[in-house]
Chains A and B, each alone.
Chain A
């Protein structure tokens, strides 16, 4: 059976990580297993063990360097996702602690970053998926979106128009929005049929968190290229730094980074003068 791994440490994130992992397991129709890596010279397993026991989850304790061992676990063929704490305490490192960053950028599977103050519901019922106008990202997210849909979660797509790719025309908004949304879904998520789409204009990184709060999402799904170098993946950085919800990071082949709008709207043949 496929498994979701809850990577727990001896921090305040242990319990929310286990709760979120249970919900993610239901989402992916996978079993749940907890893992704790005990590094030499570090304290034992007290918090991790207690949290796992309280959650009724079997805990596998590994020895060695934390990041390396978690990457190794994440690579196991039956593991479908790794769930870990984004930082140890609410006031901890931004956008995320080094373990979260290194695991997320290395494991070629969904990695779920859980903030320590997250109060994760038993089931993830509403999932916000920002989507750019980019086939690669849309295709890369399909498996996760379909799994979530099959688990009964409501998928809400978010598209944010940035200044560089604002629509050329507003036309008659009472029709244009429907026409645009219909075409957007047909192109990038045709397998979803009817789906709720939220449109916004502004800075994607800011809009994501505010829309997540506004629609009362239970989790956010982000496709990304697993690169967090300076100047890249602003949306992922901002989500990791500020989200109070689990952030499901899905590696997307060929996607340079998560930007919520692509260059395909760069208008060919137009200029400052008309």
Chain B
């Protein structure tokens, strides 16, 4: 599924992380067969990804930043940007988090679908090959820590950075997941586990902030929220690419993508401080950014801001905010919109064991209804300010607002928020 799907010819049908990270969760939670097909695209291109890793004297599989028919990297190498400047495109060379993104997508699908055949087959191969790539890519330095040098994170304003927190922690997550479930020998899995434990994470316990990459704190402390007339803004055009590169202006969620994708793998209590620090410094110069922020703002309970950001995400193509909607709809933005509604405002999170719900509804909303499919069970959730109604085909395990898992019966059930937490009430 290309960045614009079949709705237009822009982006030449190339497949980016947009599909794996932004679109796939929606498909996994609504039409799992389609999600499985999206993953099959990656599975069938494992040989090309293995070849790409070998070409760099590495192991495992290196999925390309831009992928098409063959699975080889098809990222263009040179372009004139809107300021007329000829720029070398380096994403195809060093935006490597795509490798872990593919593994993450497979895991997300599994959480939603409970697809055992996938879990015992392609999932294990994907985890093994992506983990092997990271194991050969990470360098253990004299400090005994695992580093990844010279990458581009989701914030593409800063290129060839060392120890990008997002890439490092996604690689760590990938290694740990593979150590648990990949098709590999015990010795190799133990090596992955140890390497994961060595990874530099750039986390400062005192401030509870992740440094986006090594040296980020030393950059010019420019707060784009204060500098720009409005956001979103293409900050590289506003200030010039070099000035942006030398400053703390961030294109899109980078550290915050960790809180979005792997919240269980970041330091507890770190969402709010990182949201407070990075959001004002984020230009939202990618249409992927607002949806992620809407999700996180909702989870943080900052509902007015979340709602404002959600509206912009929803209107991206309706108002042609990019000026390129005729070239195709921004499917990843739509995926981000769905995630903001379901994962953000609904607080829905699919796990292997149970479905977690932790709604945060804006006061102006009377209700939010979401149809989902979880582990083969069709269900409908209706969130109201102080209640959750669930209608499920069969019994399933749920967890409300971090409480203990409970069994929801087949048919309709209702839960109400009270001073002592959530209680089931007659529906």
Chain B residues contacting A179 (CB-CB under 8 Å) are 10-11, 324, 327
Cβ-defined partner of A273 (8 Å) among B234, B286, B305:
B305
* Given A163-B238, A171-B286, A177-B80, CB of A273 within 8 Å of CB of B231: yes
Chain B residues contacting A202 (CB-CB under 8 Å) are 83
A104 to chain B, nearest CB (A): 29
* Given A163-B238, A168-B233, CB of A270 within 8 Å of CB of B312: yes
A161 to B83, CA, bound (A): 8
A199 to B274, CA, bound (A): 36
By the criterion of a CB under 8 Å from any partner CB, how many residues of chain A are at the interface?
Answer: 37
Q: Are A267 and B230 in contact (CB under 8 A)?
A: yes
Overall SS of chain A's interface: mixed
Which of B315-323, B375-383, B401-409 touches A? B315-323
List the B residue with the shortest CB-CB distance to A167.
B234
A172 to B3, CA, bound (A): 11
Chain A residues contacting B238 (CB-CB under 8 Å) are 163, 166, 201
Instruction: Determine if B16 is an interface residue (Cβ-Cβ < 8 Å).
Output: yes
A213 to chain B, nearest CB (A): 13
Q: Are B225 and A177 in contact (CB under 8 A)?
A: no
* Interface bits B1-28 vs A (CB < 8 Å: 1, else 0): 0010000001110101000000000000
A271 to B323, CA, bound (A): 18
List the B residue with the shortest CB-CB distance to A186.
B326
* Interface bits A130-168 vs B (CB < 8 Å: 1, else 0): 000000000000000000000000000000010110111
A170 to B252, CA, bound (A): 11
Determine which residue in B3, B14, B91, B237 has the highest number of CB atoms from chain A within 10 A of its CB, and name it: B237
* Given A179-B324, A186-B326, CB of A274 within 8 Å of CB of B237: no
List the A residue with the shortest CB-CB distance to B330.
A171
Q: Are B76 and A174 in contact (CB under 8 A)?
A: yes
Cβ-defined partner of B237 (8 Å) among A161, A183, A198, A265:
A161
Instruction: Determine if A173 is an interface residue (Cβ-Cβ < 8 Å).
Output: yes
A130 to chain B, nearest CB (A): 13
Instruction: Determine if A88 is an interface residue (Cβ-Cβ < 8 Å).
Output: no
List the A residue with the shortest CB-CB distance to B326.
A183
A198 to B76, CA, bound (A): 19
Instruction: Determine if A176 is an interface residue (Cβ-Cβ < 8 Å).
Output: yes
Q: How many contacts A-B (CB < 8 Å)?
A: 139
A202 to B285, CA, bound (A): 18
Q: Are A168 and B232 in contact (CB under 8 A)?
A: yes
A182 to B327, CA, bound (A): 8
Instruction: Determine if A200 is an interface residue (Cβ-Cβ < 8 Å).
Output: yes
Q: Are A167 and B14 in contact (CB under 8 A)?
A: no
Cβ-defined partner of A170 (8 Å) among B84, B251, B282:
B251
Instruction: Determine if A65 is an interface residue (Cβ-Cβ < 8 Å).
Output: no
Instruction: Determine if B114 is an interface residue (Cβ-Cβ < 8 Å).
Output: no
A211 to B80, CA, bound (A): 14
Cβ-defined partner of B323 (8 Å) among A170, A178, A180, A198:
A180
* Given A177-B80, A270-B312, CB of A172 within 8 Å of CB of B91: yes
Chain A residues contacting B228 (CB-CB under 8 Å) are 272
Q: Are A183 and B323 in contact (CB under 8 A)?
A: yes
A199 to B83, CA, bound (A): 6
Cβ-defined partner of A274 (8 Å) among B79, B83, B231:
B231
Q: What range describes how many residues of B lie at the interface? A: 35 or more
Chain A residues contacting B324 (CB-CB under 8 Å) are 176, 179-180, 183
A79 to B389, CA, bound (A): 77
A174 to B10, CA, bound (A): 11
Chain A residues contacting B327 (CB-CB under 8 Å) are 179, 182-183
Instruction: Determine if B290 is an interface residue (Cβ-Cβ < 8 Å).
Output: yes
Interface residues of A in 163-215 (CB under 8 A from B): 163-164, 166-180, 182-184, 186, 198-202, 211
A198 to B228, CA, bound (A): 24
Instruction: Determine if B423 is an interface residue (Cβ-Cβ < 8 Å).
Output: no
List the B residue with the shortest CB-CB distance to A199.
B82
Interface residues of A in 63-99 (CB under 8 A from B): none
A192 to B284, CA, bound (A): 34
Instruction: Determine if B167 is an interface residue (Cβ-Cβ < 8 Å).
Output: no
Q: Are A170 and B285 in contact (CB under 8 A)?
A: yes
A183 to B321, CA, bound (A): 13
Chain B residues contacting A174 (CB-CB under 8 Å) are 75-76, 79, 89, 91
A169 to B16, CA, bound (A): 17
Chain A residues contacting B89 (CB-CB under 8 Å) are 173-174
Q: Are B82 and A273 in contact (CB under 8 A)?
A: no
Chain B residues contacting A180 (CB-CB under 8 Å) are 82, 322-324
Chain B residues contacting A201 (CB-CB under 8 Å) are 82-83, 237-238
Instruction: Determine if A268 is an interface residue (Cβ-Cβ < 8 Å).
Output: yes
A267 to B251, CA, bound (A): 18
Chain A residues contacting B12 (CB-CB under 8 Å) are 175
List the A residue with the shortest CB-CB distance to B228.
A272
Instruction: Determine if A231 is an interface residue (Cβ-Cβ < 8 Å).
Output: no
Interface residues of B in 64-104 (CB under 8 A from A): 75-76, 79-84, 87, 89, 91
Q: Are A274 and B308 in contact (CB under 8 A)?
A: yes
Q: Are A272 and B230 in contact (CB under 8 A)?
A: yes
Instruction: Determine if B236 is an interface residue (Cβ-Cβ < 8 Å).
Output: yes
Q: Are B81 and A177 in contact (CB under 8 A)?
A: yes
Instruction: Determine if A43 is an interface residue (Cβ-Cβ < 8 Å).
Output: no
* Given A170-B286, A182-B327, CB of A198 within 8 Å of CB of B84: yes
Chain B residues contacting A177 (CB-CB under 8 Å) are 79-82
Chain A residues contacting B174 (CB-CB under 8 Å) are none
Cβ-defined partner of B82 (8 Å) among A161, A175, A183, A274:
A161
Cβ-defined partner of B312 (8 Å) among A198, A200, A274:
A274
A163 to B227, CA, bound (A): 12
Chain B residues contacting A199 (CB-CB under 8 Å) are 80-84
B39 to chain A, nearest CB (A): 23
**A-B residue pairs in contact (CB < 8 Å), sample of 25:** A161-B83, A166-B237, A167-B82, A168-B234, A168-B287, A170-B234, A170-B237, A170-B251, A170-B286, A171-B322, A172-B91, A173-B82, A175-B3, A177-B82, A179-B324, A183-B327, A199-B82, A200-B82, A200-B83, A271-B230, A272-B231, A273-B225, A273-B305, A274-B284, A274-B289
Q: Which residues of B contact A (CB under 8 A)?
A: 3, 10-12, 14, 16, 75-76, 79-84, 87, 89, 91, 156, 225, 228-234, 236-238, 251, 279, 282, 284-287, 289-290, 293, 305, 308-309, 311-312, 315, 319, 321-324, 326-327
Q: Closest 10 A-B residue pairs measured CB to CB?
A: A179-B10, A179-B324, A168-B232, A174-B76, A179-B327, A201-B83, A175-B11, A199-B82, A170-B234, A201-B237
